[in-house]
């Protein structure tokens, strides 16, 4: 239920920011009639990255949240949920801040993000 609402909200926001990006890119382009291919493509890349960032962060945060029972990947023991922890991740799609549930194993004295987060949050 909450996920659907959030998906709908983010769709509206994404459409709105795509419209704004379109305007910004055209006004930038009109001010730079001599812009090179590389300059234009770099500008597009930056704009796209900025537009997608909040959407990507929502997508990353929603994946499998609170649905799996988490145990320690080392000893299989019980772990403590330490709440959400933010981590900045560099990716080809740009730099994003990932907020995921973070766990701590008292036996191993180690903290970790649950499975599924390796690609983004490690």
Query: Residue 113 CB, nearest distance to Zn ion (Å)?
Result: 14
> Would you count residue 107 as binding Zn ion (CB under 5 A)?
yes
Closest among 119, 66, 68, 65 to 96, alpha carbons compared: 119
Minimal distance, residue 78 CB to Zn ion, in Å: 9
**Phi and psi of 83, rounded to 5°?**
85, -170
Contact 18, 58 (CB under 8 A): no
What's the distance, CA 12 to chain centroid? 17
Q: Which of residues 30-89 bind Zn ion (CB under 5 A)?
A: 72, 74-75, 77
The residues binding Zn ion (CB under 5 A) are 72, 74-75, 77, 105, 107-108
């Amino acid at each position: 239920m909450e996920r659907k609402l959030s998906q709908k909200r983010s769709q509206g926001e994404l459409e709105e920011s795509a419209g704004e990006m379109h305007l910004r890119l055209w006004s930038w382009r009109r001010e730079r009639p001599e812009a090179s291919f590389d300059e234009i493509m770099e500008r597009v890349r930056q704009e796209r990255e900025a537009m997608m960032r909040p959407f990507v962060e929502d997508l990353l945060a929603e994946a499998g949240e609170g649905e799996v029972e988490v145990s320690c990947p080392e000893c299989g023991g019980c772990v403590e949920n330490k709440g959400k922890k933010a981590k900045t991740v560099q990716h080809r799609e740009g730099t994003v801040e990932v907020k995921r549930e973070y766990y701590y194993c008292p036996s191993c004295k180690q903290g970790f993000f649950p499975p599924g987060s390796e690609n983004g949050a490690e």
